[in-house]
Amino acid sequence: MDSKSKLWTPPLTSTSTSTCSSNNSESDESPLRIPMGMGMGMGLFQCHSQRCVAVLSEHVGPVSCLALCGEFILSASQGKDIIVWQQPDLRVYAKFGQGDGSVKAVATVGNKVFTAHQDTRIRVWKLSRSSENLFKLLHTLPTTKDYFGNFIKQTNYVQTRRHHKRLWIQHADSISCLTVYNAFIYSGSWDKTLKVWRLSDFKCLESIKAHDDAINGLVACKGVLYSASADGKIKAWARKDGKGEHALKAVLEGHKDVSFNALVVSEDAKWVYGGGSDGFVMAFQTFNLLSQTKAHHMAVLCLSLMREFLCTGSADKTIGIWRREPFGKLSRISLISGHQGPVKCLQASSNRIASGFLLYTGSMDKTVRVWWVPTYNDAQVEDNNSTIDTIGTCSAQVKAD
């Protein structure tokens, strides 16, 4: 952490974004300032093709998840390797973390950060301006209080595998996805269960046997929770009249024997997109499959929506930029290369940059890359569909002082 991190610390903010997503993003109220000290000028943003703005290379392991929080970018790798990058200079502002194994998901609400871990725990962090330790561990879920309230009764234990039981409030395998919506925290796991936690006191309220295989994605939007699984299904869950326990509302079927690795829902909840292990993106409207697009040669690992644009990250190391058309059709604008490993996570920023937006991507190559993506008119989309641009590896490196 450089000396700047000891100055006044602005709070993390969580506001509505242009899409319902598993991670919160920053406000769309004002244009973002871009660092001008990395060999860049505003002329960079006056062209009509994607450009790599920066490469952030401080992680010790593969980057597994990203979250945008106000002027901060959070990226995570191993349990003790969560990095906070501060804009506009994209310098390391803070590092924090705890636990073994990789961090699978990050979400933010107000001045709190929620991290989901391979060690089956959820950790809640609070930004503290009065301490040298900027991110202080507040709770680990399940909480000690919740644990002691359940461990005595044998009926509170469930069979997780042969000759092994756990409390129903505990995940039995890696927590793979996490989202915070209204008054609840939702966690999905490789143990095939979905758990619901109360945000006010972090008590576990429900444990749902949601899928027949690992849960890979969660998104909450317009009172509905969507879960995507390796069993090839996306399921929609809702509480009746906004009360009581969650019940299954609909099942969205993908390709046979193909895993859903990623999930995103449009802000109006009319469109649900699932990324499959066969490289296809499936588009659903009102729970019906309307289109399927072969997006990549290998598995789609992550998705992000920014207004009419869909961004896809793949195991083939590339990033696809797509324009959403009527009836679920996707028109490919460009294919971006640059990462040296599979693209595991991406987040589009709602901040306006000239006539485009910023896209943050994390990879198994241990880097976070920042891209400027221009918005396109119809003529440009047609041109790009006939000749797809492939952007080469960018060279700008950003490291902490």
DSSP-derived secondary structure for 314-350 = ETTS-EEEEEE-GGG-EEEEEEE---SS-EEEEEEEE
Q: Give the C-alpha separation, 184 to 205, whole Å.
A: 9
Category of 202 on φ-ψ map: left (φ > 0), alpha (ψ -120 to 50) or beta = left
Percentage of the chain modeled with pLDDT above 90: 61
pLDDT for 326 equals: 85
Q: What is the pLDDT of residue 154?
A: 83
**pLDDT at position 19:** 53
Instruction: Determine the Cα–Cα distance for residues 212 and 253; give it in Å rounded to an integer.
Output: 13
Mean pLDDT of the chain: 83
Residue with the larger pLDDT of the pair 35 and 312: 312
Q: Choose between 22 and 186: higher pLDDT.
A: 186
Contacts of 398 (CB under 8 A, 6+ apart): 38, 54, 55, 56, 57, 90, 91
What is the mean predicted confidence (pLDDT) over 86-97?
89
Total domains in the fold of the chain: 1
Confidence check: pLDDT of 17 > 50: no
CATH code of 306's domain: 2.130.10.10
Q: Is there a cis peptide before residue 10, judged by omega within 30 degrees of 0?
A: no
Q: Is the pLDDT of residue 12 over 60?
A: no
Range of the domain at 308: 3-398
Q: What is the pLDDT of residues 296-306, one digit of tens each?
A: 999 999 999 99
| pLDDT band, very low/low/confident/very high, at 132 (cuts 50, 70, 90) | low
> 396: pLDDT confidence band, cut at 50, 70 and 90?
very low
pLDDT at 210: 97
Of 109-118, 140-149, 200-209, which one has max mean pLDDT? Answer: 200-209
The pLDDT of 154-175, averaged and rounded, is: 85
Contact 348, 359 (CB under 8 A): yes
> What predicted TM-score, i.e. pTM, was given to this entire model?
0.84
